Amino acid sequence: MTLTQQFFLISLLPLSFFIMIIYLWRAKMKRRRLYTRWTLTLLMAALWSSSVLRLFGGDAFPEIVVYNWGILGTYALNLTAVSLFLATVVYLNIAKGHSRVASVVSLALLGTAVALDPEIWRFYLPFFNVGGQRITQFDLWGAVWIAAWLVPVVASWILTQQLKSNLLTSIYRNQINYWVLVITLFFMGFALSSIRQLDQPGWQQSGMLVIILAGVVGTLTLTRPHLPELQLASRQALSRLSGTLIIFGLTWLALSLIVQAIANLPAETAVSAQTLILTIAAALFAAFFTLVYRWVNEFTRRIFLRGQGKREVVLADFSNVIGNMPEPAQLGQMFLRLVQSNLATDDAWLFKADDGPGGRLVLRPLASLGSLPYFVADFSPSSPFSQHLRQHPGLLVQSDMDSLEMYDGIPEEERELLRKWQRVLYKPLRAGDSLIGVLALGVKYTGEGYDNHDLALLDIWTGQISPLLAQAHNLASLRQINEFVFRQNQTLMREKQHLQEVVKLYADFIDMISPELRRPFTDINREMQKYQTKAGEKEGQFVGEISQQIAALRAPIDNLITISARIQMRNQFEFKPVHLDQIAQEAIRNLHSMAEARRVKVDLHTDPTLSLALGDVPQLLEATQHLLHNAIKFNKIGGMVMVECGSEGSEVYCRILDNGVGIPAERLENLWTGLNPAGKNANGRRTGLGLALTQFIIKAHGGRVTAESKYGTGSTFTIYLPFVYED
C-alpha cells in the first residue's frame, strides 16, 4: 500500500471525531455546558489524531508544516486530557473547589512541558545524574509531558470512582460505569500514543483507534440515557467474541483437514469419486458446524453468563394470606416486614396508587416501617416521576432524578416534596398494566447501599405481592360495597316496616273515621226530609237547593273513602318484563263493545323497536283501560281514538289521543285527585276515580302520567315507564 493510500485511509480516523460532534449536537439535549466541553475534547482528539497524517504525507507537505503540525499534535493530546477532566467535572456536578486544584496542576505541568520542549526552543539543559542514572532534558520533558495528561486522567478516574461508590444500582450508576470505561479507554489510548519510535507510527495508530472507541462510548453515554448494563453488556460481548473465534478456529481446522485429505488423493482417482468425496465432506462439515455452533454457544454462556436466566426464589409464607386475605394495610405491613428482615432497612413506605382528576397520579399512604407521611400526594400526569412509575416496571432512583437530564421536567414543587421524603429508591407495584402501589425505601441502617442482590429480591417480592395486593384492594372494595348494601337493606327494611305500620294505621283510621265522616250528612238529610214534608212550596224549593249543596260537599268525602278502600287492595305488585303494546291491545279488546256502541273508532300504532318495561300486567291493564275508557266515554259520537306505543329517551310510552270535548284549563291541575265535586264535563258527566287510580298505579311502577288538552278539540293522555334491557 502506497503512502498516499495510507494517508487517505488514516484520514478517515480524525473525521470520525467530527461525525461524533455532529451526532452529539443533533441529539438536542439541554446540558449545553457539558456538550461544549465534550465537543472541545473531541476537537482536541481530532487535532492530535490528524497530526499522525504528517508521517504519511511524504513530500506533499513542506517541512515547516510537518514540524508545526507535530508540535500541535503533541500538546493537543494533553489538552484532550484536560478537556476530558473538565467534561467529567460538569458531568458529575462536582463542586468547583474540588476540581480547581487538578486543573491548575494539569495546566502548570502543560506549561512546564512547553517550556522544557527542546523542539520548540532549541536549547538544551545540561544533563544530571539521579541514583546513578543519567537524566537528559528530553527525559525530563517526557516525564513532565506524560504527567501533564496523566494527572487530569487520574483525577477524572478518582472523582468518578468516589461518586460511583456512593450510588446504588440505577440508570445513573450504569452511566457512571460507562464513564469509567471512557476514562479507562482514554488512558490506554494516551499510554499507547506516548510510545514514540522513529519510523514506527504503529503505536500512535493503535492509540488513535482506542481513543476513537473512547469517544464513541462517551458520546453514546451522554446522548442515550438508557444503555444496557455495562457488566452484562461486556459479558455478552466477550461471549459472542469468544464464540466467534472458537467457531472460526474450528471451521478453519475442519476445512484445512478436508483440503489436505483431498490433496492426498491419488492422481488416478476419478472425477466422480472426487466429487462424491467432496459431497460427503461437505455434509459432514455442515453437521459438524451445526453441532459445534450449539456447543460453543452453550459453552461461552456458561463461562461468561453464568448468572443469566437464574433468578433467586424467596420462600415467603403466604398460605394464610391466600387462605384468609387480610386488609390491604395489613398485607402491606407484612410485605414491609419481609423487606425489613432481608434488606436491613427500617425506613420503608408503601403507597396505594390511584388515578386522580385529569390523569394525575395520587399516592395514598398504606403501610410503613418508619414515620409515614400523613397526607395524600398527587403528581402531574406529564411529570417524568409519574410517567416512569406508570410506564416502566423498573426502579426509579432518587439519584437519577437529581442527576439525569431526562428528569428535568419534574415540577419544582414535586421535586421539593420528594426531597423532603428522603427516599433512596421507588419501586412500582404492578398488576398487569395497572399501577397499584409504590414502594419507597430509605437508606439502610447499616449505611450500605442497595446492591444487585437486594434489587433482584425486590423484583421477586413485588412480583409476588402485587397480584395479592390488587386482590386485597378489590376484596376491600367489595366488603365496603357489601357493608353499604347491608346498611341500605337495613334502612329499607326499617322504612318498609314503618310504612307498613303507617298503612295499617291509615287503614284503621279510614275504617274508624269513615262512618263518622258520613254520619253528619246522614243526620242532616234526615232532618231536611222531615222539614221538607212539613214545609210549603217556597220553603220546599229552598230545602232542595240546600240538599244539592250538601250532596256536593259530601261527594269529595265519598270519593276519598272509595279511593282509600281501593288503594288498600293494591298493596302487592308482581313486577316482570312486559310489552306495553300488548297491554294496549288487551285494553282495546276489553272496551271493544263500548267503542262500537258509541261508534268510536280505535286505532293502534306500535313502534316495532319498542323496548320492554317492568310492571304488573293486571295493574297496568287497569290503568290503561281507565284512560281508554275516558277517551271513548267523553268522545263525540262517531269520533276517533288513537293509541300510540313507542320509546322516548330511556322511557317507553303509551299515548291515547281523542278528538272529544276536551278538558277546560282550570280543571287540569285537579284532574288526578278525584276529589273535585264540580268535576263534570260539558255533558254533565263525572270522570270518576279512574284517573286517580291510574296515577297511583303508574307512580307505583316508577313512571308518570301526563295530560294535555284544549277544550273543544280533544285530549291526550300519556303513560311513561322506564324501559329495561332485554336479555
pLDDT of 697 over the 60 cut? yes
Is the pTM higher than 0.85? The answer reads: no
Pick the range with the lowest mean pLDDT from 63-67, 254-258, 683-687.
Answer: 683-687
Beta-strand runs (E) in 398-433:
425-431
Q: In 1-28, which positions are buried (b, 16+ CB within 10 angstroms) versus exposed (e)?
A: eeeeebbeebeebbebbeebbeebeeee
pLDDT of 414 over the 60 cut? yes
Higher confidence at residue 383 or residue 251? 383
Report how far residue 669's alpha carbon sits from residue 689's, in angstroms, rounded to the nearest whole number. Answer: 15
DSSP 36-48: HHHHHHHHHHHHH
Model confidence at 658, pLDDT cuts 50, 70, 90, reads very high
Report how far residue 215's alpha carbon sits from residue 41's, in angstroms, rounded to the nearest whole number. Answer: 9
Model confidence at 589, pLDDT cuts 50, 70, 90, reads very high
DSSP state of 372: P
Yes or no: domain 570-724 corresponds to CATH 3.30.565.10: yes
pLDDT confidence of residue 121: 73
pLDDT of 657 over the 70 cut? yes
Model confidence at 580, pLDDT cuts 50, 70, 90, reads very high
Higher confidence at residue 717 or residue 403? 717
pLDDT of 337 over the 60 cut? yes
H helices of 535-579, in order, are 537-568
> Of 3, 369, 22, which Cα lies nearest the Cα of 199?
3
Q: How many C-beta atoms surround the C-beta of residue 175 within 10 A?
A: 22
Helix count (H) and strand count (E) of the chain? 22, 15
Most confident range (mean pLDDT) of 182-186, 265-269, 507-511 is 182-186
CA angle 417, 423, 424 (to 5 degrees): 135
pLDDT of 313 over the 60 cut? no
Model confidence at 587, pLDDT cuts 50, 70, 90, reads very high
Model confidence at 605, pLDDT cuts 50, 70, 90, reads very high
What is the mean pLDDT of the segment spanning 542-568? 66
Higher confidence at residue 228 or residue 412? 412
Contacts of residue 553, defined as CB under 8 A and 6 or more positions apart, other chains included, come to 521, 677
pLDDT confidence of residue 24: 86
pLDDT of 308 over the 60 cut? no
pLDDT confidence of residue 686: 47
Do strands 601-606 and 640-648 pair parallel, antiparallel, or not at all (unpaired)? parallel
pLDDT of 642 over the 90 cut? yes
What is the mean pLDDT of the segment spanning 548-563? 66
Helix (H) or strand (E) holding 420: helix 412-421
Higher confidence at residue 447 or residue 442? 442
> And the C-alpha cell for 326?
387480610
CA distances for 17 relative to 189, 202, 210, angstroms: 15, 20, 12
Report how far residue 281's alpha carbon sits from residue 267's, in angstroms, rounded to the nearest whole number. Answer: 19
What is the mean pLDDT of the segment spanning 314-330? 55
DSSP state of 52: G
pLDDT confidence of residue 170: 65
Model confidence at 188, pLDDT cuts 50, 70, 90, reads very high
pLDDT confidence of residue 678: 40
141 neighbors 118 (Cβ within 8 angstroms): yes
What is the mean pLDDT of the segment spanning 583-595? 94
Each residue's pLDDT tens digit, 222-242? 887 667 766 666 766 777 777
pLDDT of 434 over the 70 cut? yes
What is the mean pLDDT of the segment spanning 420-443? 89
Each residue's pLDDT tens digit, 145-160? 889 889 999 999 988 8
Higher confidence at residue 568 or residue 596? 596
pLDDT of 136 over the 80 cut? no
Report how far residue 528's alpha carbon sits from residue 382's, in angstroms, rounded to the nearest whole number. Answer: 90
Model confidence at 319, pLDDT cuts 50, 70, 90, reads very low
H helices of 62-201, in order, are 63-91, 96-116, 118-121, 137-165, 171-193
Most confident range (mean pLDDT) of 37-51, 97-111, 220-234, 359-373 is 37-51
Percent of the chain past pLDDT 90, that is, above it, reads 19
DSSP state of 53: G
Most confident range (mean pLDDT) of 197-211, 494-508, 691-705 is 691-705
Contacts of residue 255, defined as CB under 8 A and 6 or more positions apart, other chains included, come to 285
pLDDT confidence of residue 289: 74
pLDDT confidence of residue 726: 59
pLDDT confidence of residue 322: 43
Pick the range with the lowest mean pLDDT from 39-48, 219-228, 454-463, 603-612.
Answer: 219-228
Summary mean pLDDT of the chain: 79
Percent of the chain past pLDDT 70, that is, above it, reads 76
Q: Per the CATH hierarchy, to which homologous superfamily does domain 324-465 belong?
A: GAF domain (3.30.450.40)
pLDDT of 141 over the 50 cut? yes
Each residue's pLDDT tens digit, 505-552? 666 666 666 666 666 767 677 767 767 666 666 666 676 777 777 776
Pick the range with the lowest mean pLDDT from 491-495, 501-505, 610-614.
Answer: 501-505
Most confident range (mean pLDDT) of 37-51, 163-177, 262-276 is 37-51
pLDDT confidence of residue 379: 93
Pick the range with the lowest mean pLDDT from 486-495, 605-614, 715-724.
Answer: 486-495
What amino acid occupies position 298? E
pLDDT confidence of residue 717: 95
pLDDT of 311 over the 50 cut? no
Task: Supply the Cα-derived Rg of the chain in whole angstroms.
Answer: 50
pLDDT confidence of residue 286: 75
What is the mean pLDDT of the segment spanning 710-726? 86
CATH fold for domain 3-227: Rhopdopsin 7-helix transmembrane proteins (1.20.1070)
